[in-house]
Chain A
Amino acid sequence: MSSDFYTNSIIPYSGIIIKICRAYTDSQEDFEDYYQEVCLQVWRTKDQFRGESKWSTWIYRLSLNICLTMIKKKRNNRQHTVSDYIVPEVTEDNHAFLDESLNLLYDAIKQLSEIDRAVILLYLEERPYKEIGEIIGTSHNNIAVRITRIKERLKKILN
């Protein structure tokens, strides 16, 4: 990966990757692993980007797909082990932000289903419903209903 590509095409969008990877990981080690995997895939698939959408949308889509794939792989690897039946530790000390409210919000988001996590992350990032629908693969009406439901659930968890 050339440092130019990393500086110009990844660093300005690293916030997106960080926000998404945080929502799908429970430890700093996993977070770094997911982050690096996303960066690698962005670099690997850069030639597939045809400019039909914004580069940021491409990064959102890729980050979510990779996180969902990695979480699935991880789950398959752990199948039939006792740890499956233990509620995962949500936040480790070294995986926390300085802002306590943000930590609580992330903890709440992690209690949602994987797809709901993706929807709310995109909503909080102020992506238009149409774009969220395109990324998730559903209609924007469905997204609107879903977001209302997810927000209610988050409020309940946070309170």
Chain B
Amino acid sequence: MEKSIETIWKEGFLKNDALLAPKLNNLYNQKSKQLIEKIKRTSRVDNLSLLPIAFILLVVLSYLGFILAGIYASFLLIFLFFLNKKLLKYLNEININTNNHKYLIAYKNAIGKIILFTTKLLGFGLPLAVIPIYWLFFKETRAYQKLIAETPFFFIILFVIGIAILLSILGVLIYKLSTKIIYGNFITRLDEIIADIEELKN
């Protein structure tokens, strides 16, 4: 007589192997791997997106007649792309063979360092890099010629410093905002996993 499904179920679980629980020593390994993979994927895409922007800037500015400004802006973005690539390589070099907790902390610290470095770069470097674009863009305009002719040199310097500070603040704010939008959830998740592992340890 064929066994009913109820009997198969009951008898099957009487065998010793059926209810063998897996060990919990790999707790969070899979989750951590998935999260880190997501961060890596997102940062790769994020960085690659600089290339089409560089191309579009080059085309648009050249079309408007500002070829030099276009080349310069594209060069800056391509430079940023290679710089980011180098920074991302640094993330990949973190030793994955250490234990999960140490690896996640090292990864989080590395992300923190990259964010700090990029913030400083944008805060100080962006005005220095972008002001020449403005100059290339406006130097032939009548408004610029009038400003140079009629304004005392000291005020021009003040004006340029003002623009530099504004650019610096704007650059840092936009970077902070975009980092929060793109990486905010990942960083929160990373913090949660680290906190959980620490609580589990205790």
Chain A residues at the B interface, C-beta cutoff of 8 Å: 1, 6, 11, 14-15, 17-19, 31-33, 35-37, 39-40, 44, 97-99, 101-102, 104-105, 124, 151, 154-155, 158
Contact = CB atoms under 8 A, between A and B. Distances in A.
B8 A105 contact: yes
A154 B3 CA distance: 12
B17 A6 contact: no
B103 to A, nearest CB: 18
Contact of B13 (A33, A44, A102, A158): A102
5 contacts: A18-B18, A19-B13, A97-B17, A99-B8, A101-B3
Contacts of A40: 27-28, 196
B12 A32 contact: no
A88 to B, nearest CB: 19
A108 B27 CA distance: 30
B21 A98 contact: no
A19 B18 CA distance: 9
A124 B27 contact: no
Contact of B27 (A19, A31, A36, A158): A36
A131 B17 CA distance: 28
Interface string B5-39: 11011011101111111101011101100000000
Contacts, number: 71
Q: Give chain B's interface residue range (CB within 8 Å of chain A).
A: 20 to 34
Given A14-B19, A18-B21, A98-B18, A36 B11 contact: no
Interface of B: 3, 5-6, 8-9, 11-13, 15-22, 24, 26-28, 30-31, 196, 199-200
Interface of A, helix, strand, loop or mixed by DSSP: helix
Contacts of A154: 5
Nearest to A22: B18
Contact of A35 (B11, B21, B196, B200): B21
Given A1-B200, A154-B5, 18 more contacts: A14-B19, A17-B21, A31-B22, A35-B21, A36-B24, A36-B26, A36-B28, A39-B27, A98-B15, A98-B16, A98-B18, A99-B11, A99-B15, A102-B8, A102-B15, A104-B8, A124-B6, A151-B5
